[in-house]
Homo-oligomer: A and B are copies of this chain.
Amino acid sequence: MDHADPRLVAGDPPPFFAAHVFVCCNRRADGHKRGSCAAAGSEALRDYMKARAKELGLRGIRINQAGCLDRCEFGPALVIYPEGIWYSPKTREDVDEILVAHLQAGGRVPRLMLTAADVPPAKA
């Protein structure tokens, strides 16, 4: 191991992707009380993010759609692993900022990050 992440064990392969982005593309019926990321526009933002990542020449980064990430109320939601940082981009400009500041430069975009307070309501 070349770093100190305590979740890794001896013999683990190296990371397959340097960064792996999952964009929630779950769609619920219109009017569902939790809403859904697709209803909030996540599919178009995912398509844009994939295209822009390619244009920027970002290497070792994979951008995938995912099923419901259970943070519907704060969507469109995406999460970047292995660091486990969540964002809620609303616009293409937001996506650009995540691509450049986080995925290209290794920083963060605090104004778009979900926080520990952004939890779904308890199930009835």
Binding site for B on A (CB under 8 A): 3-9, 11-17, 20, 22, 62, 64-71, 79, 81-86, 106-108, 110, 113-116
Q: Classify the interface of chain A: helix, strand, loop or mixed.
A: loop
* A16 → chain B closest CB, angstroms: 6
Q: Are A64 and B22 in contact (CB under 8 A)?
A: yes
- A82 vs B16: C-alpha distance when bound (angstroms): 12
Residues of B within 8 A of A82 (CB): 5, 7, 81-84
Q: Is the CB of B9 within 8 A of A86?
A: no
In the complex, A106 Cα to B4 Cα: how many Å? 16
Determine whether the beta carbon of B14 is less than 8 Å from that of A116: yes
* A68 and chain B: residue at smallest CB distance: B64
Cβ of B62 and Cβ of A64 under 8 Å apart? no
A6-B3, A13-B113, A14-B116 given as contacts; is B81 within 8 A of A70 (CB)? Answer: no
| Given A64-B66, A83-B8; A116-B13 close (CB under 8 Å) | yes
- State in angstroms the CA–CA spacing of A12 and B6 once bound together: 17
Q: How far is the CA of A8 from the CA of B106 in the complex (A)?
A: 9
Write the nearest CB–CB distance from A22 to chain B, whole angstroms.
6
> In the bound complex, how far is the Cα of B7 from the Cα of A85, in angstroms?
10
Residue numbers in B under 8 Å from A85 (CB-CB): 12-13
